[in-house]
Amino acid sequence: MPTPTPTPTPTPTPNPPAPGPEILAAFEAAKGFMPVGEGLALYAAAAEAGRLGLPLLEVGTYCGRSTILLAGAAREAGVTALTVDHHRGSEEQQPGWEYHDPETVDPELGVMDTLPTFRRTLHRAGLEDHVVALVGRSPKAAALWNSPLALVFIDGGHTDEHATADYEGWAPHVAEGGLLVIHDVFPDPVDEFTGQAPYRVYLRALASGAFKELSATDSLRVLRRTGDGI
Ligand SMILES: C[S@@+](CC[C@H](N)C(=O)[O-])C[C@H]1O[C@@H](n2cnc3c(N)ncnc32)[C@H](O)[C@@H]1O
């Protein structure tokens, strides 16, 4: 267990890059959980990281709400957004759990399948050309990956097993100067709904010395890769 590090006071970036009105409208119309404030912070990070000229990668596509922002930023930067998901839903999205949406169940198989909704979302937003979707388990995809990324956004499973595997699988590929963004970081257990594994991963990233915190917007943390030793 990493030693807790105090959360530094976030430094707001003056005039951060913002999505155009059509990207913002598509984000707001998409099925998903991310509030607008966190979405704007994610877009700003993606736009900044995109200047490195390397791909942006998301773990946890769900129905494409946050992917729209990465795709919009990727389009502006002339890079590609990658998004990884097995599309069978996280633990808390399964039937009977708080975040379950019956519309995401495949009527033939009776199991969750968010891939069709994701594809419709991306098509409607006109962003298909800027995204490569990797359908499968994050650790399996990470094990095959071997090139630098401008940004890694971790928003997958919230168990320690999944969040840790996402960090260990993808964070090493963040290029020097690139960004690691972690969603659902809740330092206070009173605030969390789905577990504190993302918070533990965030602490581990800071304790590694390989990342420095750039900003905090609600539960979204943006860290910059500044060294080795993940
Ligand atoms: C919280 S949702 C992502 C929300 C999305 N980023 C958004 O803003 O709308 C988490 C997603 O992670 C996926 N997921 C969970 N564990 C995974 C794993 N080990 N590999 C791939 N996808 C996973 C789930 O299927 C689910 O769609």
Q: What is the mean pLDDT of each run of 10 residues along the chain (230 residues)?
A: 47 81 98 97 98 98 98 98 97 89 96 98 98 98 98 96 98 98 92 84 98 98 95
| The pLDDT value given to residue 3 | 45
Decide: 200 in ligand 1 pocket, CB within 6 A. no
For ligand 1, whether the C-beta of 153 sits within 6 Å is: no
Q: Ligand 1 center to residue 61 CA distance, Å?
A: 6
What does the pLDDT read at residue 127?
A: 98
Predicted confidence at residue 189, as pLDDT, reads 81
How confident is the model at residue 92, as a pLDDT?
A: 87
pLDDT at 48: 98
- Residue of 130, 158, 162, 173 marked catalytic: 158
- By most ligand atoms within 8 Å of CB, the mutation choice from 82, 85, 137 for ligand 1 is 85
> What's residue 120's pLDDT?
98
| Catalytic (active site) residue 158 | yes
184 lines ligand 1 (CB under 6 A): no
pTM for the structure as a whole: 0.94
Distance separating alpha carbons of residues 79 and 88, to the nearest angstrom: 28
